[in-house]
């Protein structure tokens, strides 16, 4: 069921079940982060591998402190400046945070989401929520309540409808080395430039720069192949257009492909087979539309998908990260 009843969402969560919740980034599949059975349900419903840790959501810095052993000064500065918002911090966990939630790591990923419905829900609960994206593992993340219902159906008894997600890509994840220097483990909804204004120069250590993350990810969402449509996706550089392979007639080829363009349609492909992420060239708009448009593209009666990379600046870096992983 889809609705806006906080009491219904709280009922299912307190019963140890899972609920779809809105955030500013994407919709999450939420369960009690401190309850092994609820966390197991999240992994089972998503078909998510147990080695991929979950992000824990709560509504205040005081509650975060009950989950972590320490909060380095730079982490506290980030938290006070950026929360609620699309930033996740990776911090040493307290013993009562289940190993299942953190996939055996001694750190827990925590954030305060910036969505009024979910903040109100979190304030009403006496436990935090583990909430990865509410989609089958590896598929396109949901940015509307109906996406959750379409993908997970009867596995989720209630989906809290908070409207379309305003950021559209998952949170940026930052961890800290032994000297408490900040490291970016996942590009996301908070641009590097915004964060560096607080931390100074950041080291980026994402899945593409750390092959070991495929076998033992240090943070949620670090696997290379992720956020993918069902149909094969090929990336296009700026100015590049899809070309037919071998002797396939150009007209037949053009009718068989779908294109996710950045700011304008590409020549030679039917306009009905193209979606434009940001007609005005705004990477924020591109991020907001990315997952919904990938989903629509995947539903077209075509056999091959193409996507243009966007300018690699601001949130464009996170958009390109998701596109590269969708094509992996």
pLDDT tens-digit series, residues 176-191: 988 888 999 999 999 9
The predicted pLDDT at position 164 comes to 97
**Mean of all residue pLDDT scores within the chain:** 92
Does residue 166 sit in the same domain as residue 282?
A: no
- Total structural domains within the chain: 2
Is there a domain that residue 181 lies in?
A: no
Quickly state the pLDDT bin for 215 (edges 50, 70, 90).
low
Question: 246 falls in which pLDDT band (50, 70, 90)?
Answer: low
Q: How confident is the model at residue 242 (pLDDT cuts 50, 70, 90)?
A: confident
* Residue 15 covered by a domain: yes
Average pLDDT over residues 138-163: 95
293: closest CA among 264, 256, 259, 327? 259
Same domain, 11 and 137: yes
Query: Which residue, 129, 156, 171, sits at the end of a domain?
Result: 171
pLDDT above 80 for 248: no
Segment 304-325 mean pLDDT: 93
Of 99 and 255, more confident? 99
Q: Which two tokens stand for residue 71?
A: 């909060």
Q: Each residue of 192-208: pLDDT tens digit?
A: 999 999 998 999 988 65
Question: Do 253 and 148 lie in a common domain?
Answer: no
Same domain, 269 and 146: no
| Whether 162 contacts 22, CB under 8 Å | yes
Lowest mean pLDDT of 29-38, 122-131, 174-183, name the range: 174-183
Is-contact 89 65, C-beta < 8 A?
no
CA distance 173 to 161: 25
Check whether residue 163 and residue 282 sit in a common domain. Answer: no
Report whether 208 contacts 226 (CB < 8 A): no
The angle subtended at Cα 282 by Cα 279 and Cα 285, nearest 5°, is 80
Residue 268 resides in a domain: yes
The pLDDT tens digits of the residues spanning 63-115 come to: 999 999 999 999 999 999 999 999 999 999 999 999 999 999 999 999 999 99
Q: Are the C-beta atoms of 117 and 162 separated by less than 8 Å?
A: yes
244/155 same-domain check: no
Last residue in a domain, options 132, 147, 171: 171
Quote the pLDDT of residue 211.
52
Same domain for 63 and 149: yes
Q: Which residues constitute the domain of residue 153?
A: 2-71+79-171
Phi, psi of 273 (to 5 degrees): -100, 10
pTM: 0.90
CATH for 115: 3.90.870.10
Report the pLDDT value the prediction gives residue 294, as an integer from 0 to 100: 94
Token pair belonging to 67: 């989950």
Is residue 209 over pLDDT 60? no
C-alpha–C-alpha distance, residues 306 and 316, integer Å: 17
Residue 187 lies in a domain: no
Residue 199 belongs to some domain of the structure: no
Instruction: Indicate whether 157 and 305 sit together in one domain.
Output: no
What pLDDT shows up at residue 178? 84
Strand 55-57 to 129-130 pairing? antiparallel
Residue 38: burial class (beta carbons within 10 Å; 0-12, 13-18, 19+): buried
Q: Looking at 124, 145, 171, which one is the last position of a domain? A: 171
Query: Are 19 and 101 in a shared domain?
Result: yes
CATH of the domain at 294: 3.40.50.11030
Give burial (CB, 10 Å; 0-12/13-18/19+) of 89: buried
Give the percent of the chain with pLDDT over 70: 95
Q: What's the confidence (pLDDT) of residue 217?
A: 74
Contact status, residue 225 vs residue 140, Cβ threshold 8 Å? no
């Amino acid at each position: 069921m889809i609705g806006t009843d906080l009491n219904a969402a709280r009922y299912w969560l307190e019963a140890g079940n899972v609920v779809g919740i809105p955030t500013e980034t994407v919709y999450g599949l939420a369960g009690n982060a401190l309850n092994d059975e609820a966390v197991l349900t999240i992994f089972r419903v998503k078909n998510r591998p147990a080695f991929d840790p979950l992000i824990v959501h709560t509504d205040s810095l005081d509650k975060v402190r009950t989950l972590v052993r320490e909060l380095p000064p730079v982490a506290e500065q980030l938290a006070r400046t950026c929360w609620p918002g699309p930033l996740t911090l990776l911090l040493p966990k307290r013993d009562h945070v289940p190993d299942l939630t953190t996939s055996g790591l001694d750190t827990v990923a925590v954030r305060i989401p910036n969505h009024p419905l979910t903040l109100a829900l979190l304030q009403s609960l006496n436990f935090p929520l583990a909430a990865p994206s509410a989609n089958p593992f590896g598929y396109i993340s949901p940015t509307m309540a109906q996406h959750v219902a379409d993908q997970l159906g009867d596995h989720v008894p209630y989906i809290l409808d908070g409207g379309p997600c305003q950021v559209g890509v998952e949170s940026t994840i930052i961890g800290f080395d032994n000297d408490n220097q900040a490291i970016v483990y996942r590009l996301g909804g908070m641009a590097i430039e915004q964060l560096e204004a607080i931390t100074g120069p950041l080291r980026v250590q994402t899945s593409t720069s750390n092959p070991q993350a495929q076998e033992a990810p240090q943070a949620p969402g670090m696997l290379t192949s992720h956020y993918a449509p069902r149909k094969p996706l090929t990336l296009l550089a700026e100015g590049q257009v899809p070309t037919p392979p071998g002797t396939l007639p150009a007209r037949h080829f053009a009718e068989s492909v779908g294109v996710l363009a950045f700011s304008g349609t590409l020549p030679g492909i039917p306009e009905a087979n193209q979606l434009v992420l940001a007609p005005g060239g705004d990477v924020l708009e591109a991020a907001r539309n990315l997952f919904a448009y990938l989903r629509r593209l995947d539903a077209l009666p075509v056999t091959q998908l193409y996507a243009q990379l966007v300018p690699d600046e601001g949130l464009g870096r996170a958009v390109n990260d998701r596109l590269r992983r969708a094509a992996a």
